[in-house]
């Protein structure tokens, strides 16, 4: 086992979930709420794994987490939390249950409404250390939300906003690659591309943070070397371990900020007319964003090519597009079912997203519209 303390405490390794009973006791959590989704429940993971530990056996379970977490779901889970007198949360699943758990942990100790705490509405300073404790148990290798300070939640009016604070970082992340062994190939690919996007975008962020940049490059190297293997053979333990570490490292680098890919994928993820997987969206948008940012980050592009073992003049956008094709994932917004008429609204929303501020090249609504058009 590797015990890491960077932003929070992380237990990493096969079989680490088995110790969650002692972990909850150490955090002083006596009555946890399990936040997950229906897919995790249907897969039997809650019964087979999550309910083995003592204080989880009788724990209430909220499993109605949407693909993209919503304010309504936060309120429903919060009602369950209060009804059962819970004092902490165990989030089991991908980024959606973990982000939802952060929203519940926030409102369990802070007066609403939820939008009060949105980053772009001045909410960062309003989040205090009283946030209820969250233990994050990722079952995918992609979002890095288990160590991230942000939660992305779609409000009732359709805005998908970021809620950001160091107090929202889970108190403990249990990263057990065993829990990803049954992940379908398509989801392995989609979440893996999410991890790759995180590592690239945070590395390119103009904020100065060399340690985070080193972590981002290491995560990118691991993911690029193992994503195809993990998709091809879901039982490949080494590939599963490396992808989980890559996703974790992508989350560790969030402190530098993301960029235009996420500025676009956040409002796209809030669309009502189509449900879009975040990782797949990022993979589709990344080539156009890389082409847009190239003039502003030449030295960093050279370093990315170096760690990927590419030629000095290789086209990074083409490399991403080819990898997406190899993984069998959609390569365009058209293939994902995104209607073209949303372009103006999404482009305008992207300029207001918190991730836009850390893109290496400033982008206008017209720039974002062009990136979207290039992705159809």
Q: Is residue 153 located within the same domain as residue 59?
A: yes
Q: Is residue 311 located within the same domain as residue 353?
A: yes
Q: Is residue 144 located within the same domain as residue 245?
A: no
E strands, 165-218, in order: 172-175
**Main-chain dihedrals φ then ψ at residue 154, nearest 5 degrees:** -85, 120
Considering 133, 156, 179, which residue would you say is the last residue of a domain?
179
Q: Is residue 238 located within the same domain as residue 310?
A: yes
For the chain, what's the residue count? 376
Q: Is residue 359 located within the same domain as residue 216?
A: yes
Q: Which has the higher per-residue pLDDT, 360 or 160? A: 360
Residue 121 CA, distance from chain mean position: 21
- CATH code of the domain containing 355: 1.20.1090.10
pLDDT bin (cut points 50, 70, 90) of residue 241 is very high
- CATH code of the domain containing 173: 3.40.50.1970
pLDDT of res. 56: 79
> What DSSP string runs through 238-291?
HHHHHHHHHHHHHHHGGGG---HHHHHHHHHHT-SSS---HHHHHHHHHHHHHH
Determine the longest span between alpha carbons in the chain, in angstroms. Answer: 59
Q: Is residue 165 located within the same domain as residue 16?
A: yes
pLDDT, tens digit, for every residue of 41-61? 887 777 765 556 677 778 899
Q: Is residue 156 located within the same domain as residue 193?
A: no
Q: Is residue 131 located within the same domain as residue 203?
A: no
Which residues form the domain of 258?
Answer: 183-374
Q: Is residue 174 located within the same domain as residue 189?
A: no
Q: Is residue 168 located within the same domain as residue 192?
A: no
Considering 131, 148, 179, which residue would you say is the last residue of a domain?
179
Q: What is the C-alpha to C-alpha distance for residues 320 and 329, in angstroms, rounded to an integer?
A: 12
Total tally of structural domains belonging to the chain:
2
Q: Is residue 129 located within the same domain as residue 248?
A: no
Considering 150, 179, 208, which residue would you say is the last residue of a domain?
179
Task: Provide the mean pLDDT of the chain.
Answer: 92
pLDDT, tens digit, for every residue of 294-351? 999 999 999 999 999 999 999 999 999 999 999 999 999 999 999 999 999 999 999 9
Global pTM? Answer: 0.91
From residue 358, alpha-carbon distances to 10, 140, 352, 355 in Å are 27, 26, 12, 6
Q: Is residue 187 located within the same domain as residue 174?
A: no
List the structure tokens of 141.
């290798």
């Amino acid at each position: 086992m590797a015990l890491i303390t960077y932003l929070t405490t992380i237990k990493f390794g096969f079989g680490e979930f088995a110790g969650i009973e002692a972990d909850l006791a150490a955090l002083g959590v006596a009555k946890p709420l399990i936040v997950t989704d229906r897919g995790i429940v249907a897969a039997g993971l809650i019964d087979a794994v999550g309910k083995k530990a003592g204080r989880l056996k009788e724990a209430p379970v909220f499993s109605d987490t949407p693909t993209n977490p919503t304010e309504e779901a936060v309120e429903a889970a919060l009602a369950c939390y209060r009804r059962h007198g819970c004092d902490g949360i165990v989030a089991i699943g991908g980024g959606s249950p973990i982000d939802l758990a952060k929203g519940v942990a926030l409102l369990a100790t802070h007066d609403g409404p939820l939008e009060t705490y949105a980053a772009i509405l001045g909410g960062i300073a309003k989040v205090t250390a009283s946030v209820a404790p969250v233990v994050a148990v990722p079952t995918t290798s992609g979002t890095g939300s288990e160590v991230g300070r942000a939660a992305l939640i779609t409000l009732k009016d359709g805005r998908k906003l970021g809620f950001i604070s160091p107090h929202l970082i889970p108190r403990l992340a249990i990263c057990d690659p065993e829990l990803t062994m049954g992940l379908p190939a398509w989801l392995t690919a989609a979440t893996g591309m999410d991890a790759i996007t995180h590592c690239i975008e945070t590395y390119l962020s103009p904020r100065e943070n060399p340690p985070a940049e080193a972590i981002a490059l290491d995560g990118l190297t691991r993911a690029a070397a193992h994503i195809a293997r993990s998709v091809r053979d879901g039982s490949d333990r080494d590939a599963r371990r490396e992808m989980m570490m890559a996703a974790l490292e992508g989350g560790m680098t969030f402190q530098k900020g993301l960029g235009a890919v996420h500025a676009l994928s956040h409002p796209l993820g809030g669309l009502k007319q189509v449900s879009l997987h975040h990782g797949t969206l990022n993979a589709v948008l990344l080539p156009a964003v890389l082409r847009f940012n190239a003039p502003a980050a030449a030295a960093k592009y050279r370093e990315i090519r170096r760690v990927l073992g590419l030629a000095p003049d290789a086209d990074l956008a083409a490399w991403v597009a080819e990898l997406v094709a190899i993984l069998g994932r959609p390569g365009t917004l058209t293939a994902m079912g995104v209607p073209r008429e949303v372009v103006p609204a999404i482009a305008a929303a992207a300029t207001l997203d918190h991730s836009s501020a850390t893109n290496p090249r400033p982008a206008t609504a017209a720039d974002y519209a062009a990136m979207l058009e290039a992705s159809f």
